[in-house]
């Protein structure tokens, strides 16, 4: 039965980590973005984030929902604190497109969130970290 369920491959939808200046606090903050680089909007979007450390510590699980994310757009999901950069951070993305369910887990390995790993981020036109 389980083998009969087909979950299509996620393409052109990304999770990115961006370092941005925060005017309110006069600081550089790290933010998580959901990027839809596809030609069609995605619907009923859910992003769940959590972190696990090798010593057994865990972060709180966050869940964010977005009714629609337009094509060729980006939406800020949440702030990520530097204190959890030593954790394995997971971002589980689920959404619908053309009445099909899509699901993918993006992972940031411990200590991988740093400016040395910046690359061009689609849609946003600036440098950041694209998770795989």
Of 59, 77, 56, nearest to 14 by C-alpha is 77
pLDDT-derived band of residue 4, with 50, 70 and 90 as boundaries? confident
pLDDT at position 83: 96
CATH number of domain containing 79: 2.60.40
pLDDT at position 1: 61
pLDDT at position 69: 98
Q: What is the pTM of this model?
A: 0.92
Q: Identify whether the C-beta of residue 103 lies closer than 8 Å to the C-beta of residue 84.
A: no
Domain that holds residue 63: 2-130
Q: How many domains is the chain built from?
A: 1
SS3 122: coil
98-131 pLDDT, tens digit each? 999 999 999 999 999 999 999 999 999 999 999 9
pLDDT at position 2: 66
């Amino acid at each position: 039965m389980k083998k009969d369920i087909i979950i299509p491959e996620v393409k052109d939808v990304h999770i990115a980590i961006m370092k941005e200046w925060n005017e309110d606090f006069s600081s550089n903050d790290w933010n998580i973005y959901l990027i839809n680089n596809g030609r069609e909007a995605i619907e009923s979007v859910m992003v769940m984030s959590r972190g696990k450390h090798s010593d057994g510590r865990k972060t709180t699980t966050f869940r964010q929902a977005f009714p629609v994310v337009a094509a060729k757009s980006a939406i800020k999901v949440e702030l990520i604190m530097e204190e959890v950069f030593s954790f394995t951070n997971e971002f589980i993305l689920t959404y619908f497109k053309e009445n099909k369910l899509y699901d993918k887990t993006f992972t940031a390995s411990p200590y991988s969130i740093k400016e040395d790993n910046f690359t061009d981020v689609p849609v946003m036109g600036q440098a950041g970290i694209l998770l795989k």
